[in-house]
Structure 1
Amino acid sequence: MAKVAFLGLGVMGGPMAGHLAKKGHEVTVYNRTAAKAEAWVQANGGARADTPREAARDAEIVFACVGNDEDLRGITLGEDGAFAGMKRGAIFVDHTTASAEVARELAAEAAERGIGFVDAPVSGGQAGAENGVLTVMCGGDAAAYAKVEDAIGAYARACRLMGPAGSGQLTKMVNQICIAGLVQGLSEGVHFAKRAGLDVEAVLDVISKGAAGSWQMENRGRTMNEGRFDFGFAVDWMRKDLGILLDEARRNGASLPVSALVDQFYAEVQRMGGNRWDTSSLIARLER
């Protein structure tokens, strides 16, 4: 068992840190809103710190799950950042979905300080975090990854090193590209079935057993049909992720016409007031 820190206790980070505590790790947490960190300690034990630097002091592994590139820089760099408190040989594991560019930037900064850095975005959503069954895509040095793989296993059912720094973030971009097109296709299929007068639940039940089946169909098809979008991965977060991957595509020359189109469809959902709706709410713009 390790002495660890966890920075960021949102809908993903809070449960992930909780699984580390349940596995017996000694966990110190930091959250921008101190009351949330205090509530986590009351529920899970461990300790709370007032700054990322304080939380990271003496930790063997420092985990983070925050909002975006700037949030990540905010908790790692500067006088009160985690890097300033970490001892040589410690490893920073970033679960934020961020850019590959910031992963490479922070990996280089960490290396200068004698710290390991692993970019490790996750897939599986809030339910995956709560149930400890996330998929984790990692980038970084193989030796650093080997030191943190077992700890990540506290909340992951799959974890793999994909390559050097930034490779985890690039793999997460592939994940989001595939999801975006799939959810749009499922939305159109459910919408078509309703307009055709079919029993949508019966349609989903039969086609989910064939080549059209997917996680999204199994977990979101029926709630899309019912117009329920009060759970899961928010539209605002998906637009952030699509923005990151479309920026990366402009740099590497990849052609992503479907992803770019679905990004604009999500912008329409935002204009409908669906910022915090689940990403399956794409169907809502078809049924206005």
Structure 2
Amino acid sequence: MSADRIGFIGLGDIGAPMAMRILDAGHPLTVFNRTPDKAQPFAEKGAAVARSLGELAAVCDVILFCVSNGEAVEHVVFGPGGLAEAGRAGQVVVDLSTIHPVHTQQMAARLAAERGMAWVDAPVSGGPAGARLGTLAVMAGGDAAVVERVRPVLSAFGGRITHMGPVGCGMATKACNQMLNYGTGAVVAETLNFAARFGIDPALIPEAVAGGFADSNVLRNYGQQMVAGTYKGNTLTAMKDIDIIMDMGRITCSAMPVTSLVASFFRMQIAQGYTSGGLPTPMRMYAQGPLKAVGVKKN
């Protein structure tokens, strides 16, 4: 148990269950959300609810936030009434969002120079379900001592916490994570469509390869959505992550021919108006509804 007073900003689909696990673990918690109604369940369980970012910063030692993009992070930290205005030396901010690694490094350096506050970038993987179960993969970047300081809090929702290196390395690792996810998702869609075209029930593919080298969480969790033709994710958010990856490829002179092709798949779907779907989006190239076995056409 950490002796630090914890703040949490951003009670969205994944932020709320992470914050609830922190509260359930016994950490003293103050929350803030732009939509006050989302803070009500926390108030009912004994958390303090701040009326502003500054009010939260004034009473917390470690402040975690999970927001939509880099612009939102910058607003939370450096915007009017943000954390930097009310912050003090010795505080730690922990960014659980998924944003650009270089932007992270720039903001961390600015916050340290202006306020003496430390920054840990700790994006997560595992979705809302992983947050609720406390099994998220947490990829942390920052000073080793600071990462150890916040580890007890991260452990409330993280099943594995890996210190990846200095500030920015957490976000860079999340980019690697997303490369694997979206690349796998694209080939899963292609595989399931081929199976259906041959006459195989595509819903059987995850079962058939379970336990083998081709098995994956992406296949098991998202393959079902692809076969059913259900698209629950946000393709614009997926494109935001892919754009970060592609820019990091440019900055590091890393060849990314496969990821570039995947990026084109997603950009094409968005151009056609399909902004919902998230990771399973490439399946829309093959089917607009449930995927059924059709068999090979005979001449």
Find the residue that maps to 1:127 and give its secondary structure.
helix
CA deviations on 1:69-106 (whole Å, 9 max, x unpaired) are 11101000144111222232121100010111121112
Where does 1:97-176 land on structure 2 (aligned, <5 Å)? 97-112=98-113, 113-176=115-178
Query: TM-score, normalised to structure 2's length?
Result: 0.90
CA contact (8 A) 1:208 1:217 kept: no
Query: TM-score, normalised to structure 1's length?
Result: 0.93
Find the residue that maps to 1:54 and give its secondary structure.
helix
Query: What letter matches 2:286 in structure 1?
Result: L
Change (3 A) 1:12 1:43: farther
Q: 2 CA distance for matches of 1:43 and 1:285?
A: 46
CA contact (8 A) 2:237 2:278 kept: no
Where does 1:1-288 land on structure 2 (aligned, <5 Å)? 1=2, 2-37=4-39, 39-112=40-113, 113-230=115-232, 233-288=233-288
Where do 5+ consecutive residues of structure 2 fail to align?
Answer: 289-299
Q: 2 CA distance for matches of 1:93 and 1:62?
A: 6
CA contact (8 A) 1:68 1:96 kept: yes
Larger radius of gyration: 2
Q: 1 CA distance for matches of 2:260 and 2:53?
A: 36
Query: What letter matches 1:48 in structure 2?
Result: V
Change (3 A) 1:287 1:276: closer
Q: 1 CA distance for matches of 2:145 and 2:107?
A: 17
Change (3 A) 1:212 1:250: same
Corresponding residue number in structure 1 for 2:291: none
Find the residue that maps to 2:280 and give its secondary structure.
helix
The answer to which of 146-155 and 275-284 deviates more is: 275-284
User: Alpha-carbon deviation of 1:62?
Assistant: 0.2
Find the residue that maps to 1:186 and give its secondary structure.
helix
Q: 2 CA distance for matches of 1:89 and 1:42?
A: 27
CA contact (8 A) 1:242 1:263 kept: yes
CA deviations on 1:100-139 (whole Å, 9 max, x unpaired) are 1121112212322221110111111121122221111111
CA deviations on 1:123-164 (whole Å, 9 max, x unpaired) are 111211222211111111111111001110000001111111
Where do 5+ consecutive residues of structure 1 fail to align?
Answer: none
Change (3 A) 1:106 1:261: same
Q: Aligned-pair RMSD on alpha carbons?
A: 1.6
CA contact (8 A) 1:58 1:86 kept: no
Find the residue that maps to 1:188 and give its secondary structure.
helix
Find the residue that maps to 1:279 and give its secondary structure.
coil
CA contact (8 A) 1:54 1:82 kept: no
CA deviations on 1:169-188 (whole Å, 9 max, x unpaired) are 11111111111111011000
CA contact (8 A) 2:31 2:49 kept: yes
Q: 1 CA distance for matches of 2:284 and 2:148?
A: 44
Q: 2 CA distance for matches of 1:203 and 1:26?
A: 46
Change (3 A) 1:65 1:199: same
Q: 2 CA distance for matches of 1:172 and 1:159?
A: 13
